[in-house]
């Protein structure tokens, strides 16, 4: 296998990992920010109840982040293959 194929595989897997993981991570952080703003607004209005438990990631987000992590591992594997191929 050519060294350039290892490098191409690493690049494709790395870009794929970023394309899958970044929007998911960003959406989760934005949702947490919106929830916090709504909670602050209700507290300001005097209608806040008990502080809700942080929901964390949804099931779909966890799956997408797992796929992104798997692609990142593949990218690292391809980089090791690229540097060790001689």
**pLDDT tens string 6-19:** 999 999 999 999 99
- For the chain, which residues make up each domain, given as ranges? 3-84
User: Residue 20 pLDDT > 90, yes or no?
Assistant: yes
- The C-alpha atoms of residue 72 and residue 56 are separated, in whole angstroms, by 22
pLDDT of residue 52: 66
**pLDDT tens string 27-79:** 988 888 877 777 777 777 777 777 666 778 889 999 999 999 999 999 999 99
- Whether the full predicted model's pTM is greater than 0.85, yes or no, is no
Q: At residue 67, what are phi and psi to the nearest 5 degrees?
A: -65, -40
Distances (CA, A) of 68 to 3, 9, 61: 24, 15, 10
pLDDT of residue 11: 97
């Amino acid at each position: 296998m050519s060294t350039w194929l290892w490098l191409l595989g690493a690049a494709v897997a790395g870009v794929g990992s970023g394309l899958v993981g970044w929007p998911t991570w960003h959406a989760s952080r934005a949702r947490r920010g919106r929830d916090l703003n709504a909670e602050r607004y209700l507290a300001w209005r005097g209608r806040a109840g008990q502080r809700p438990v942080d929901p964390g990631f949804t099931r779909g987000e966890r799956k997408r982040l797992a796929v992104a992590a798997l692609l990142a591992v593949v990218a690292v594997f391809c980089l090791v293959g690229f540097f060790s191929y001689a």
